[in-house]
Structure 1
Amino acid sequence: MDSVAYITVDVFTGERFSGNQLAVIPDARGLSDTQMQQIAAEFRYSEVTFVLPPEDPANTARVRIFTPTMEIPFAGHPNVGTAFVLGGQPEIFGNAPGDVLRFEEKAGLVATALIRDDDGRVAGAGILAPQPLSLGPQIDTDTIAHCASIDVRAICTETHAPIIASVGLPFAVAEVTDLETLGRACPNTAAFAGAGRRFSPEDEQFAIFLYTRLPDNPWHVRARMFAPLDNVIEDPATGSASGALGALLASLQPASDLDIDITIEQGVEMGRRSLIELNVHKSDGLVHSVRIAGRCVAVMRGNLSL
């Protein structure tokens, strides 16, 4: 194998050069783990996906997700963007894609549903988080403040303390008081390294998802995500973190049965505005499903020399 085909898309946006960049290798057969990691490092996007035949023929594909430094079990925008790319192809490993695609991933089976425009063309996708909400340790406000270079008094704890939350990939989730504080945040890599040693398992990197809720609509959220230990200084759209936040907020609502729509707006400070649409379903006091959806735009296609 001398080269491999790739397609890049902007995810969680309807406008090219906004949203979150993703490179998709639609046929990664023949690539070694080392080559996959090298390709991800070469693109330097927050993630690159590698599509392989499924182990179970009832599923659509096996999808591996790499950041510039490591493979991860699940992420939101790579699934949405990969579904968008594969949904526009005539076939996937000999089978025509339908409107529902099922991806085998390290975190489990990820179900995706294509979003089509008025002309029937694939315009995006929605996914269901592969795991229920799980919570790790709470994190002291001083640690969050040092990592994000913000005043500790600007961290809100009325709804929840800063905490590790996951629906497939863990993030430290913390609420701040206002948009001004969110805009001033800047990752402190040395503080992140110290926090990572204290709060992250050995095979995962410590990342922070900061957010604030708009005063006139508490279900419209502005957010930023920092993961400098993974060579992602800031991510313009983080579906896995958004899903974890949505599940966390729904779990804290007093109602035992709830079906809520949440909009996460991210990437504004980077000039890559993204819109992530969540639907969270809660019944009998437990969050049972988190849908993460958004639109996509194709940007580039070509061949990568090996």
Structure 2
Amino acid sequence: MRSHTYSEVDVFSPVAYLGNPLAVVHDAQGLSAEQMQRFAKWTNLAETTFLLPPTRPGADYRVRIFSATQEYPFAGHPTLGSAFAWLQGGGRPKNDGYLVQECGAGLLKVRTTGQHFAFQAPTLTRFEPLSAQKLSQVAAAVGLTPEDILDASWIVNGPEWIGIRLNSAEGVLALNPDPQDLGELCIGVIGAHQQGGDTQYEVRAFLGGDPVWEDPVTGSLNAGLAHWLRHSGVTTRNYVAAQGTAIGYRGRIHIQYDAEDIWVGGQVTACVQGQVSL
């Protein structure tokens, strides 16, 4: 075993400890995938990341992202939290105003402005309507009928997200699914708030087969939802989504549309710093 710098950060909330926590192991070279997976399971957090030297030209650092059960090519709040932790650990980006992260999904830009970080949403690897059979399965898993759902789509960018859109934020908050009904489905639900509030949408993320079956705040899901909303003509305007409300969190995800890109951002706060032996 050797000692590594270790961080725990809170992502996507203006208030510390009300966002999504992330564990970060710095200088992780020499650790095997098996060691990383074992430690990620031990932390008992939604994700744990491991910072490594980059292997591709243009990248500032490389990250490997693990849940308690598997490695992800990309995930949203681990991207922002890892960028923050890399800078806190003394990392110096090659470019002014943004970092370039290397991960399993390729190279991703991360904009930095104080404690606000935003990643460039990756290209969706699966984006298509659900079959009637899958729609019925998804509706039943969250306690709805297909007729309750305005629209549904695969929005895969790493995790196998299925997005469903309801007619209101109140409808999203009223959901009370049984985790046993989710199976292996990863379902993201979005509904619009009434005009005039500080958030325009309410989002919830239900994770079948995961010990943390409702995620507090989810960057990858919100990236997919933002792409879907623009592509389907629901909105082309920047917005703020709330997530975690139903389970006592205060996630805030800022979506910005550029001509070509979608940026998914939020605040990151340092919570724990120390050493870990691995």
CA distance in 1, matches of 2:192, 2:122: 26
Compute the displacement of 1:153 (Å): 6.3
* Aligned alpha-carbon RMSD (Å): 2.5
CA contact (8 A) 1:108 1:131 kept: no
Matched, 1:186 2:166: no
Alpha-carbon separation, structure 2, partners of 1:300 and 1:154 = 46
Partner AA of 2:48 in structure 1: V
**In the aligned structure 2, how far is the partner of 1:170 from the partner of 1:127?**
19
Q: Retained in 2: the 8 A contact 1:28–1:52?
A: yes
Aligned residue in 2 for 1:276:
253
| Structure 1 position 292 matched with structure 2 position 264 | yes
Are residue 127 (structure 1) and residue 119 (structure 2) matched? yes
Distance 2:233 2:171 in 1: 25
Q: Secondary structure at the match of 2:21?
A: strand
In 1, Cα distance between the equivalents of 2:162 and 2:119?
22
Matched residue, 2:213: 233
Equivalent residue number for residue 200 of structure 2: 220
Give the TM-score normalised by structure 2: 0.89
Match of 1:5 in 2: 5
Determine if contact 1:25/1:51 at 8 Å carries over to the other structure. Answer: yes
Task: Please give the residue correspondences for 1:116-265 in structure 2 after superposition, counting only pairs within 5 Å.
Answer: 116=114, 123-132=115-124, 134-140=126-132, 141-148=135-142, 150-152=143-145, 155-157=148-150, 160=151, 162-193=152-183, 196=184, 206-216=185-195, 220-253=200-233, 260-265=237-242
Residues 1:22 and 1:154: Cα distance change in structure 2 (over 3 Å): farther
2-structure distance, mates of 1:155, 1:210: 12
- The CA deviation at 1:276 is 0.5
Q: Where do residues 59-78 of structure 1 align in structure 2 (5 Å cutoff)? A: 59-78=59-78
- Flag structure 1 segments of 5+ consecutive residues without an equivalent: 117-122, 197-205, 283-287
Structure 1 residue identity aligned to 2:141: C
Tell me if 1:107 matches 2:100.
no
CA contact (8 A) 2:136 2:145 kept: yes
Q: Alignment partner of 1:232: what SS?
A: coil
Q: Which amino acid aligns with 1:144?
A: V
Deviations 1:246-276 (A, max 9, x none): 111101118xxx8520211101112111100
Of all paired residues, the percent bearing the same amino acid is 29
3-state SS in 2 of match to 1:27: coil
Q: Secondary structure at the match of 2:162?
A: strand
Q: Deviations over 1:161-209 (max 9, x none)?
A: x22113444311011233443233234344322xx4xxxxxxxxx3100
For the 8 Å contact 2:126–2:157, the answer to whether it is kept is yes
Q: Is the 8 A contact 1:130 1:168 kept in 2?
A: no
Aligned residue identity for 2:136: D
Number of the residue aligned with 1:48: 48
Aligned equivalents of 2:15 and 2:175: distance in 1? 26
1:280 CA drift (Å): 2.4
Aligned AA (2:243): Q
Residue in 2 that maps onto 1:83: 83
CA distance in 2, matches of 1:80, 1:99: 14
Question: In the alignment, residue 166 of structure 1 is paired with which amino acid?
Answer: V
Residue 267 (1) aligns with residue 252 (2): no
What is the deviation of 1:97?
8.1
| Deviation, structure 1 residue 154 | 6.9
Distance between the aligned counterparts of 1:153 and 1:131, measured in 2? 28
Query: Partner of 1:301 in structure 2?
Result: 273
Which residue matches 1:120? none
